[in-house]
Structure 1
């Protein structure tokens, strides 16, 4: 009996922490990657665990057949898991995000409660009171539960979600719970156990590993071109019929760029990148942190003096997106472009001997979870160490003035350009129109000049937009935004863009 109780304790821990990882992915999508998503999931789980443990204690005193009771609870939890993708699919619609969010909170609490009820039960089943070794027996049940909990977050959150969608993973965990519950209920003869295990395995094997029930209703009113789901979340490409924009990249349901390098109609505002060609005479090595849909890396390859472009992307799913779009797919085969799947900050630390003339980060929104790793003073110091003399860091502030103050605390010169794109260097950055025009005329893509004579005349084109760029200092930016507070330096410790001045608090 004790071995079976240990196994249940391990598997319940595995399923519980695995579900927590799944819910975190769902909440990150619904909330657009806001930093409190994980904390909210954790709070709901802990509340459910506390309540469930109390109910489990009551059941242990009320019922004698704990195997049967535990099996019923586990089976109910399993069927609830299986229904989750379909419940969210029904509720997660374009005009009912808050309602869906509320339903998800209730579901988390219910599931955490059901799984927590099992914990006191397996302790009773796995504790040997007769020989007086209660402490030893309890510790073993805890030990197996901790092993399961660790494996759940690592196996499901870190491995399986690269091969199985979130929707399918909910269904599979539900089937595992139903199978375990059935094993607890039935009389444990060799034939019955074998039959249940075989039937459970067949059902799990028949599950489509790539269903997207959870997000289907979110996409139903959109023209979705591509969809990729992995352990980092969901990437999808949509068209905006209202504004006529195509191939808009969304990472976890938040804007992450446009797959477009058309210089005549610069909807991607690549003028922010071309400004580097206008102000740096002859860059030879460049680093891109955050490839996303590949447009910026593709445009950067037009700089004729560049010999090497190292591009870092943490989510390999973007490479699958890039492969399907001929406009940017050449970056995957360009001999001078090296793409690494890694965390940008970690990669810089591991390759601190490499020096670059240009470092480009088209950073995501300053309020999203984890963005401090790219915007903090500590990150600026790391980047500065990787720049050659006269090298330039260009990154997207997403209009957070605090990022400019942070850059100025590390670099001698830092300026605010179009749409809050920041250019920082230890050398003065000057935009001379004559020099800029000469440099822009040298840009070549696919063996042809990037800017035709016609495109140079377009008001919406990247050429003119680059030449009229104004580089502002911190004081001018503060006046522009009429800030009623002092700008602050972002550090790894204060994380102000994520919490203090997040999405709602400017």
Structure 2
């Protein structure tokens, strides 16, 4: 067996797997800020450079292959240990307010350096013999590393993170490195020293397995929750991390990627989650036969939309199936999902709509997340709003949560003839719909709204007046209140994520 090539494969597989896990961990801690990926890449590559430099020095100074194999096995054992210890340390530092870029770079760099130390050794061991075939042996070692590096993200990103928690995924990669260290210690002419190292590896594997079995599988996520509270439920899959927090009177909060995503409240009187925003769509389009919702969240808005007069079909496009699971814990939201008029599609909205060119909607409600989060430009850009417009019927209205972004407001105004802000929502159409908001008809419609056969609004109540008297804000008014000129968002400039996005520190 070509042991150096196998060693190179293990390095590539484990290194890229750990990088995927560190991106998930750090991005969650930094609230899905786009710059998080680049920061992890910088720190990880720095660790690889330092580790590879150390491995090259070891190759020059080692008296023979036996010593290099010893170094490699020790490095694998250290990497297995740091694969668990450093994420826990990072979580502890973040939870205790020790958020410093230098500390974080050092933590991530150390995590990648041990495996990088092994990589030049694997090349050295694989090519120093049989001089006439060095090119062939070098190719085997290098190809093995590339193969491992390709398989690592696939296995980790599509299998481990889909079926295991982040904590458990780190544990699996740690155990894989321990197993590799034990294998090489026994396979490479087992000397007493290597046998002792194999025994140490077995003991360490036992400790790792036992410690992992006793831990909360979501301990890393719980330590990094931005609320500082313990989530009552955590849903982790390859699409992201969803956390649920208990609220008063059943008004639970849902967070996606460690940022607020909605609440379970369905009472306009309590209105802890801005229900006036989706409800306004019922007044602006009194008879919406077909409705499109982009983003489900916990399903609260879906429960309201189902009760709009005239609704015959609701298509919901949600990229993360974890929200469907989360909604099942809440009777009203779960009931809304079971409505025969509701068609839930788990897919990317842009891709799905491009494959459904014939579909047209009277209402489109985009339950968008914060305008500075990673990839949000794909939902706020001119290109996406134009795609939405192509799926709207004559007289249709679109709404989305701009989360305070004037750039998103301006972008909508460039695509539609009329765009106005109501709270932090932008409403857009090719006709002036403002006259439909505060009318006798809209008040009667609100009074007639029911939620599963019960009146939605209390009687008597001033809530309807408060909702309908809240004014629309024009683009000019919003611009005068802002310190810089608004700019149009495109798929290419991604200005809400980078140019005007949230900083890491």
Name the TM-score, length of structure 1 as normaliser. 0.90
| Residues 210/385 of structure 1: CA separation in 2 closer, same or farther (3 Å cut) | farther
Residue 474 of structure 2 corresponds to 473
Equivalent runs, 1:292-303 vs 2, <5 Å: 292-303=297-308
User: Does residue 135 in structure 1 map to residue 135 in structure 2?
Assistant: yes
Structure 2, gaps ≥5 residues long: none
State the alpha-carbon separation in 2 of the partners of residues 189 and 334 from structure 1: 66
Equivalent runs, 1:347-362 vs 2, <5 Å: 347-362=352-367
Residue 71 of structure 2 corresponds to 69
Residue 429 of structure 2 corresponds to 425
* Deviation of 1:279 (Å): 1.4
Do 1:47 and 1:109's aligned partners in 2 also have CA atoms closer than 8 Å? Answer: yes
* Deviation of 1:107 (Å): 2.3
* Deviation of 1:15 (Å): 0.9
User: Does residue 439 in structure 1 map to residue 445 in structure 2?
Assistant: yes
Residue 55 of structure 2 corresponds to 56
| Per-residue Cα deviation, 1:233-253 (whole angstroms, up to 9, x for no partner) | 321122467xx8931111122
State the alpha-carbon separation in 1 of the partners of residues 128 and 54 from structure 2: 22
Residue 499 of structure 1 corresponds to 498
Residue 237 of structure 2 corresponds to 230
Residue 407 of structure 1 corresponds to 412
| Per-residue Cα deviation, 1:382-405 (whole angstroms, up to 9, x for no partner) | 111111111111001001111111
- For residue 286 of structure 2, the aligned residue among 281, 284, 294 is 281
Residue 87 of structure 1 corresponds to 89
State the alpha-carbon separation in 2 of the partners of residues 287 and 205 from structure 1: 47
Residue 172 of structure 2 corresponds to 172
| Per-residue Cα deviation, 1:65-110 (whole angstroms, up to 9, x for no partner) | 22111111111111111323432443342x41515x6544322101
Equivalent runs, 1:294-373 vs 2, <5 Å: 294-373=299-378
Q: Secondary structure at the match of 2:331?
A: coil
State the alpha-carbon separation in 2 of the partners of residues 92 and 112 from structure 1: 20
Q: Secondary structure at the match of 2:235?
A: strand
- For residue 213 of structure 1, the aligned residue among 216, 219, 224 is 219
| Residues 489/245 of structure 1: CA separation in 2 closer, same or farther (3 Å cut) | farther
State the alpha-carbon separation in 1 of the partners of residues 220 and 296 from structure 2: 27
Do 2:296 and 2:318's aligned partners in 1 also have CA atoms closer than 8 Å? Answer: yes
Equivalent runs, 1:153-192 vs 2, <5 Å: 153-188=153-188
Do 2:8 and 2:141's aligned partners in 1 also have CA atoms closer than 8 Å? Answer: yes
* Deviation of 1:261 (Å): 1.0
State the alpha-carbon separation in 2 of the partners of residues 426 and 10 from structure 1: 58
| Residues 256/231 of structure 1: CA separation in 2 closer, same or farther (3 Å cut) | same
Do 1:322 and 1:329's aligned partners in 2 also have CA atoms closer than 8 Å? Answer: yes
User: Does residue 484 in structure 1 map to residue 483 in structure 2?
Assistant: yes
Q: Secondary structure at the match of 1:133?
A: helix
| Per-residue Cα deviation, 1:7-54 (whole angstroms, up to 9, x for no partner) | 221221111111111111111111101000000000111111111111
Name the TM-score, length of structure 2 as normaliser. 0.90
| Residues 245/333 of structure 1: CA separation in 2 closer, same or farther (3 Å cut) | closer
Residue 451 of structure 1 corresponds to 457
Instruction: List 4+ stretches of structure 1 deviating above 6 A.
Output: 192-206
Q: Secondary structure at the match of 1:98?
A: coil
State the alpha-carbon separation in 2 of the partners of residues 468 and 319 from structure 1: 34
User: Does residue 397 in structure 1 map to residue 402 in structure 2?
Assistant: yes
* Deviation of 1:298 (Å): 1.1
84-93 vs 106-115, which deviates more?
A: 84-93
State the alpha-carbon separation in 1 of the partners of residues 77 and 209 from structure 2: 19
Do 1:179 and 1:196's aligned partners in 2 also have CA atoms closer than 8 Å? Answer: no
Residue 464 of structure 1 corresponds to 465
| Per-residue Cα deviation, 1:407-461 (whole angstroms, up to 9, x for no partner) | 111111111112x20011112212242121122233232123322423xx24xx3
State the alpha-carbon separation in 2 of the partners of residues 223 and 197 from structure 1: 34
Residue 387 of structure 1 corresponds to 392
| Per-residue Cα deviation, 1:327-381 (whole angstroms, up to 9, x for no partner) | 3111231111111111122222222221111111121110111000100000011
C-alpha RMSD over aligned residues: 2.7
State the alpha-carbon separation in 2 of the partners of residues 41 and 88 from structure 1: 13
Residue 22 of structure 2 corresponds to 23
193-202 vs 343-352, which deviates more?
A: 193-202
